[in-house]
């Protein structure tokens, strides 16, 4: 059991800065997920915590003690890799128990521990096999078992499920969540899959180009992203954005009159696909051409062209939209679902929906004219 | 695949293989067959057309010759010691070069230099450097005060085997380094990192992970080098011609064949060399399990 603290951690490779001054506190027993686009530095940050990559500057603390210069082997952490990184020439049993061999526990104690862990991860019938005789899911279970058997203070996972197919990924996701509930060890988990991030995390850390954009619970990030990047990154399909036209807004997108923002200059807006609904042309807040519908069975994604550059996605749950392709349709949504951003992409709070009286005509609030 | 398709693929395969097979027949099978044939005759080199069949008496003559057995002893001594030193040294240097040290690329290129120099040239260079009067080696030892007059390294019968082994190690360790380095680079970095994070001490990481995974690469390298060492000719011949102390089996065969013009006995000796090499190859392949895949 241990907490983790990073303070002003940076990492540069040559002249290339990969991590830019990261400060982060992870509480004992917490499940924290790093998400961000590929190449943003998630793995590097996790490796800095593990001690596999030395930080260029800044400090790493584990359980309050500075470990910046402590080698990986002395940090008491366990690391699960995307590639599993199992020892190909050893049986599953030896793979799991290998780290215990130098701990002077005695053969029987090692075997007992390995068996307990193997049973827990449902690989106890595979103990005699070699890694290459296992499926991907089984290999990852063995890799997790190898981490688990040492009873580490901290678990670090680097995209452990990315090599698995989607069914298996979901199954393993649930097992990792259950594992965390059982052992309550601090876990840091890197993924680019936001479904994994949302379902596993106590808190999510959104990284972008080596900096932290926002740290918060999954719901916080979804409901109140601090900026356009986080708003776009959390949620699937991603949030629809539109730039506001300069000036009064007779042409292009504009905020409705009487829409109150708390300071700042609104320059763009966003609405999530699930907050939109399709109505008859003219009956919503703006009109567009229905270009395409993707049917996933239980939900449908309608692509609506609002202007030459702007296509918005609408998530339609349940039955597919009745409107036909290339038809002009209207879009409706609530004021509360509008996210407003300033010129630097920072989100600006607004108090429109409660402030506006009922019955104001839909047209003229957030409006688009073709 | 249908039987017809399979047949067509076989035909294509043979089409591609034929030129190679013809060349192999000409440069390997034909001379080997001739040698094998002559080893049963009493032919002389000045006129190979005149010969009579003598059965296996040439083979018996060779194994009754004390000089042959001395050559076998020399050859095996040379092979075992030089390959052992080259393997250990090669492993050590490869492990160093595999670390992310600055200037690694340059070092890797530099280490190849001894291997790129022709054997005769390298041997002559070392012969000069080890010369008892003019050699730089003795000069250094004298100026360090370790000896008071030059040692005749290449003339002394007790030192010459050591010198041959030394030069061979100098020349062919790069080959070992290269093969072992290639093996090292196939070991996934993340696996070693996993072991590191798991707190496995460095000696155990080397002993239980690196070495077992390196075994196939080391095995191939040892096999190549051993076969090379057993038929070694040039180095010892350039350095010491037919000096009894470093006469290898190849030099023995050459002496019988060329110096003594005995085509029959020389061929029999060559056949024995061939059998010796084959025997060592079979033993090594079996012992190292090179016919099995890695991690088996
Ligand atoms: N050893 C290295 N040398 C140079 N650049 C590296 C090295 N490792 C990672 N990088 C760079 O650092 C950035 C972040 O990499 P990484 O942490 O692996 O990203 P992520 O895991 O978020 O996809 C990338 O631009 C990558 O090219
Ligand atoms: Mg990564």
Of B148 and B16, the structure prediction assigns the larger pLDDT to B16
Cβ <8 Å between A72 and B294 = no
pLDDT value, residue A256: 76
pLDDT value, residue A365: 40
pLDDT value, residue A350: 84
| Architecture of domain B66-295 in this structure | Orthogonal Bundle (1.10)
**Which residues in chain B are contacts of A76 at CB distance < 8 A?**
199
Q: pLDDT 10s per residue in chain A (370 long)?
A: 699 999 999 999 999 999 999 999 999 999 999 999 999 999 999 999 999 999 999 999 999 999 999 999 999 999 999 999 999 999 999 999 999 998 888 899 999 999 999 999 999 999 999 999 999 999 999 999 999 999 999 999 999 999 999 899 999 999 999 999 999 999 999 999 888 999 999 999 999 999 999 999 999 999 999 999 999 999 989 999 998 876 544 457 888 777 777 788 889 999 999 999 999 988 888 889 999 999 999 999 999 998 888 899 999 998 888 888 899 999 999 888 999 999 999 999 887 544 444 433 334 445 444 4
Can you name the residues that pair with A302 across neighbouring β-strands?
A293, A314
Tally of CB atoms within 10 A around A192:
16
Closest C-alpha to A289, from A256, A314, A315: A314
Q: Is A42 in the pocket of ligand 1 (CB under 6 A)?
A: yes
Closest C-alpha to B115, from B177, B161, B160, B181: B177
pLDDT value, residue B294: 46
What is the residue-wise DSSP string for B6-55? HHHHHHHHHHHHHHHHHHHIIIIIHHHHHHHHHTTB---TT-TTS--B-T
Closest C-alpha to A179, from A60, A80, A103: A80
Strands A4-13 and A16-26: antiparallel
> B77 CA to chain A: closest CA distance, Å?
34
Mean pLDDT over residues B91-105, rounded?
87
pLDDT value, residue A102: 86
Mean pLDDT over residues B154-181, rounded?
91
What does the block give as tokens for B250? 């190849």
Closest C-alpha to A208, from A188, A226, A187, A186: A226
What does the block give as tokens for B200? 């496995």
Query: Which stretches of chain A sit within 8 Å of chain B by CB?
Result: 50-52, 71-79, 81, 83, 85-89, 98-99, 101-102, 130, 132, 146-147, 150
Closest C-alpha to B215, from B295, B96, B99, B291: B295
Q: Is A38 in the pocket of ligand 1 (CB under 6 A)?
A: yes
Sheet of A4-13: strands edge to edge? A16-26, A4-13, A57-62, A65-66
Q: Which CATH class is domain A4-223?
A: alpha beta
Domain boundaries, chain A: 4-223, 237-354
Strands A328-332 and A277-280: antiparallel
Please state whether the predicted TM-score (pTM) of the whole model is above 0.95.
Answer: no
Contacts of B281 (CB under 8 A, 6+ apart): B223, B227
pLDDT value, residue A370: 40
pLDDT value, residue B241: 83
Tens of pLDDT, residues B223-263: 999 999 999 999 999 998 878 889 999 999 999 999 999 99
Q: Is A106 in the pocket of ligand 1 (CB under 6 A)?
A: no
Closest C-alpha to B110, from B24, B43, B173, B165: B173
* Cα–Cα distance, B20 to B117 (Å, whole number): 29
The beta-carbon neighbor of B190 closest among A74, A83, A99 is A83
* pLDDT tier at B290, thresholds 50, 70, 90: low
Tally of CB atoms within 10 A around B7:
11
* Cα–Cα distance, A94 to A100 (Å, whole number): 10
Percent of chain B with pLDDT over 90: 61
The beta-carbon neighbor of A89 closest among B188, B198, B212 is B212
Tens of pLDDT, residues B177-194: 999 999 999 999 999 999
pLDDT value, residue A363: 42
**Which residues in chain A are contacts of B214 at CB distance < 8 A?**
none
Which residue stretches of B39-155 are H helix? 57-63, 66-98, 104-111, 113-116, 119-129, 136-143
The beta-carbon neighbor of A88 closest among B196, B200, B295 is B295
pLDDT value, residue A246: 64
Q: Is A39 in the pocket of ligand 1 (CB under 6 A)?
A: yes
| Architecture of domain A237-354 in this structure | Beta Barrel (2.40)
Instruction: Tell me which H or E stretch contains A6.
Output: strand A4-13
pLDDT value, residue A352: 59
Tally of CB atoms within 10 A around B163:
22
Tally of CB atoms within 10 A around B129:
16
pLDDT value, residue A211: 96
Q: Is the dihedral of CA A211, A215, A219, A221 positive or negative?
A: negative
Position B111 pLDDT exceeds 80: yes
Cβ <8 Å between B193 and A52 = yes
Percent of chain B with pLDDT over 70: 97
pLDDT value, residue A362: 39
Position B138 pLDDT exceeds 90: no
pLDDT value, residue A356: 42
Of A63 and B131, the structure prediction assigns the larger pLDDT to A63
Closest C-alpha to A139, from A80, A78, A193: A80
pLDDT value, residue A27: 96
Instruction: Tell me which H or E stretch contains A234.
Output: none
């Amino acid at each position: 059991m241990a907490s983790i603290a990073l303070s002003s951690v940076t990492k540069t490779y040559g002249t290339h800065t990969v991590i830019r001054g990261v400060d982060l506190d992870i509480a004992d027993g917490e499940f924290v997920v790093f998400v961000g686009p590929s190449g943003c530095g998630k793995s590097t940050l996790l490796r800095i915590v593990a001690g596999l990559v030395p930080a260029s500057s800044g400090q790493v603390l584990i359980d309050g003690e500075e470990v910046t210069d402590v080698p990986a082997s002395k940090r008491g952490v366990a690391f699960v890799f995307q590639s599993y990184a199992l020892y190909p020439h050893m049986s599953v049993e030896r793979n799991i128990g290998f780290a215990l061999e130098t701990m002077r526990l005695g053969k029987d104690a090692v075997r007992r521990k390995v068996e307990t862990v193997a049973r827990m991860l449902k690989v106890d019938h595979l103990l005699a096999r070699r890694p290459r005789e296992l499926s991907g899911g089984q290999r990852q279970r063995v890799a997790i078992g190898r981490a688990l058997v040492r009873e580490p203070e901290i678990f670090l996972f680097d995209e452990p499920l990315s090599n698995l197919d989607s069914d298996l990924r979901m199954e393993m996701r649930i097992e990792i969540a259950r594992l965390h509930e059982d052992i309550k060890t601090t876990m840091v988990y890197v993924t680019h899959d936001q479904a994994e991030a949302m379902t596993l995390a106590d808190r999510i850390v959104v990284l972008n180009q080596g900096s932290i954009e926002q740290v918060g619970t999954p719901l916080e990030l979804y409901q109140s992203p601090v900026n356009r990047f986080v708003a776009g990154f959390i949620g699937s399909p991603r949030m629809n954005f539109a730039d506001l036209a300069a000036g009064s807004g007779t042409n292009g997108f504009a905020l409705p009159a009487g829409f109150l923002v708390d300071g700042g200059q609104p320059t763009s807006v966003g609405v999530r696909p699930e907050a939109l609904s399709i109505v008859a042309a003219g009956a919503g807040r703006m009109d567009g051409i229905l270009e395409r519908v993707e049917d996933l069975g239980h939900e449908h994604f309608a692509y609506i062209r609002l202007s030459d550059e702007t296509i918005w996605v609408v998530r339609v749950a349940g039955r597919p939209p009745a409107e036909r392709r290339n038809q002009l349709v209207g879009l409706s949504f609530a004021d509360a679902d509008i996210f407003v951003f300033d010129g630097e992409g920072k989100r600006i709070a607004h108090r429109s929906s409660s402030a506006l009286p009922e019955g104001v005509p839909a047209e003229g609030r957030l409006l688009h004219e073709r | 695949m249908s039987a017809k398709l399979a047949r067509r693929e076989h035909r294509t395969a043979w089409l591609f293989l034929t030129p190679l097979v013809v060349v192999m027949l000409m440069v390997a099978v034909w001379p080997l067959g001739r040698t094998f044939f002559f080893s049963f005759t009493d032919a002389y080199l000045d006129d190979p057309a005149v010969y009579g069949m003598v059965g296996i008496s040439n083979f018996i003559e060779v194994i009754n010759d004390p000089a042959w057995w001395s050559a076998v002893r020399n050859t095996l001594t040379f092979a075992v010691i030089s390959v052992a030193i080259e393997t250990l040294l090669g492993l050590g240097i490869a492990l160093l070069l595999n670390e992310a040290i600055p200037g690694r690329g340059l070092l890797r290129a530099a280490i190849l230099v001894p291997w790129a120099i022709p054997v005769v040239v390298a041997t002559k260079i070392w012969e000069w450097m080890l010369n008892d009067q003019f050699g730089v080696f003795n000069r250094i030892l004298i100026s360090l005060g370790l000896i008071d007059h030059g040692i005749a390294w290449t003339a002394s019968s007790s030192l010459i085997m050591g010198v041959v082994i030394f030069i061979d190690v100098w020349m062919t360790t790069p080959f070992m380094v290269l093969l072992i380095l290639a093996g090292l680079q196939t070991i996934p970095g993340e696996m070693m990192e996993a072991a590191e994070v798991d707190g496995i001490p460095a000696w155990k990481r080397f002993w239980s992970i690196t070495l077992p995974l390196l075994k196939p690469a080391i095995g191939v390298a040892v096999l190549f080098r051993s076969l090379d060492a057993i038929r070694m000719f040039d180095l010892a011949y350039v350095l010491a011609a037919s000096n009894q102390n470093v006469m290898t089996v190849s030099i023995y065969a050459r002496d019988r064949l060329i110096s003594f013009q005995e085509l029959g006995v020389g061929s029999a000796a060559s056949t024995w060399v061939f059998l010796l090499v084959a025997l060592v190859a079979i033993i090594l392949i079996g012992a190292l399990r090179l016919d099995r895949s890695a991690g088996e």
